[in-house]
Amino acid sequence: MVEQPALQRRLGLGDAVVVGLGSMIGAGIFAALAPAAAAAGSGLLIGLAVAAVIAYCNAVSSARLAARYPQSGGAYVYGRERLGPFWGHLAGWAFVVGKTASCAAMALTVGAYAWPDHARAVGVAAVVALTALNYRGIQKSALATRAIVAAVLAVLAAVVICAAGTGALHADRLMPSADVSAYGVLQAAGLLFFAFAGYARIATLGEEVRDPQRTIPRAISLALAVTLVVYGVVAVTALAVLGPQQMAASTAPLTDVARVGGVPGIVVIVGFGGAIAALGSLLSLILGVSRTSLAMARDRHLPPLLASVHPVYRVPHRAELAVGVIVAVLAATVDVRGAIGFSSFGVLAYYCIANASAWTLSESEGRPARVIPVLGAVGCVVLAVTLPWASVAAGAAAIAVGAVLFLIRTHLANR
């Protein structure tokens, strides 16, 4: 067998934080607020708080595991090493199918903000362009993500300032009404969890980060902290301007916030910012899915052809091309809200296994406080089963397919 060239450790702390920010901020603020408002109504902010608590637990568990196992693959590696090959396979499968759906949702979000009448065509073009960029090397992707994150934060700041400055905020819209249900709040939290899962991208880049035992845990904590602040401020602003009903009906809620604010030119700027944010998220998502696919292909849980690393650019080029093709097809065919629900189910399953893996760590291995992985795992299960029923059914079916494939592979290997 010809030995494959290794991935190179080119990313520092700042690059790793930016990769996490690029995937989280674009996904959450510009895509997940509307379906979450449809589920929870005026209880949206409570759902955001629930999602944040569970995301924090998952982040702590992931950070401790990433320090112990600084390899490409994230929870696929953690499950394999701590719980056994079946659970590792299931975590990797859940991540790949869930995050492939996330990629499609982000591609469609690019189109919704950039050119709403041709959202699918724009989404497919974005997938092709970013796949080509990723093919050229991880450092180029990190530099592009840094520029995208800076632009997005500037646009979000402009939205908040304009909304406050024009008197469009209505504090009474922030108070939960009497008809808010616990089920709706949990469903909103599950949908908003889609927005917090970007720190997993940092862990999946374990073989491309310098000093990973120190860098990855710090990067995960910093990226999540910054994202929590940004989400809180922008969600409060959007809810105070639009109210839950108008937000739930919107396909581009922050564009509508800007429109209500009435500042000339800001609508165009926000549309541009939404497209750029979703591009940053899509860029990071493709990186994460391709690296997990690489790790699974190395162990023959996916076709070994995908385990190839480019001899010049040192990236998993075949995995990246395969992911790009699949996501382009999905962007041309699926619905963005359905993709978000399906993705959330897969990612919650992934983090449930990550928390179970963290539970098995010893004190000398950096085990977190016991309550962290327990709350994280239970929270993941609760949020997964309270997602829209179609998302639960499709997600459970996808996980079942992954389990069957593992059993078939094991049977054939033992013959």
Q: If we measure between CA atoms, which residue out of 301, 317, 321 comes closest to residue 309?
A: 317
Provide the 8-state DSSP code for 387.
S
Mean pLDDT of 236-250: 91
- Kindly report, residue by residue over 310-367, the tens digit of the pLDDT: 888 788 899 999 999 999 999 999 988 889 899 999 999 999 999 999 999 999 998 9
Amino acid found at 154: A
3-state secondary structure (DSSP) of residue 161:
helix
What does the pLDDT average to over 240-254?
Answer: 89
**Across 241-256, average pLDDT:** 88
- Does pLDDT of 23 surpass 80? no
Cβ contact 290:320 at 8 Å: yes
Q: Which of 237, 222, 252 is nearest to 166 (CA)?
A: 237
Token reading at 230 = 């940004």
Residue 380 pLDDT greater than 50, yes or no: yes
**Considering all CA atoms of the chain, what is the largest pairwise distance in Å, rounded to the nearest integer?**
71
Q: Which domains does the chain have, with CATH numbers?
A: 13-414 (1.20.1740.10)
Q: Are 100 and 327 in contact (CB under 8 A)?
A: yes
Could you say which DSSP state residue 74 is in?
A: T
CA 136 to chain centre: 23
pLDDT value, residue 314: 81
Contact 277, 148 (CB under 8 A): yes
Say whether pLDDT at 122 is over 80. yes
Residues 166 and 260: their CA atoms lie apart, in Å, by: 9
C-alpha span between 110 and 67 (Å, rounded): 34
CB atoms within 10 A of CB 7: 21
CA distances from 64 to 15, 24, 257 (A): 19, 20, 39
62 touches 137 (CB < 8 A) = no
Query: Angle 180-183-188 (CA atoms, 0-180°, nearest 5)?
Result: 80
Query: Using 50, 70 and 90 to split pLDDT, how confident is the model at 283?
Result: confident
Least confident of 276-290, 302-316, 349-363: 276-290
Q: What is the pLDDT of residues 187-216, one digit of tens each?
A: 999 999 888 877 766 766 667 788 877 888
Percent helix, strand, coil in the chain (nearest 5)? 80, 0, 15
pTM of the entire structure? 0.85
Give the contacts of 259 (CB within 8 A, at least 6 positions apart): 267
Q: Is residue 301 a contact partner of residue 406, using CB atoms and an 8 Å limit?
A: yes
166 burial via Cβ count (<10 Å: 0-12, 13-18, 19+): middle
Alpha-carbon Rg for the chain, nearest whole angstrom, is 20
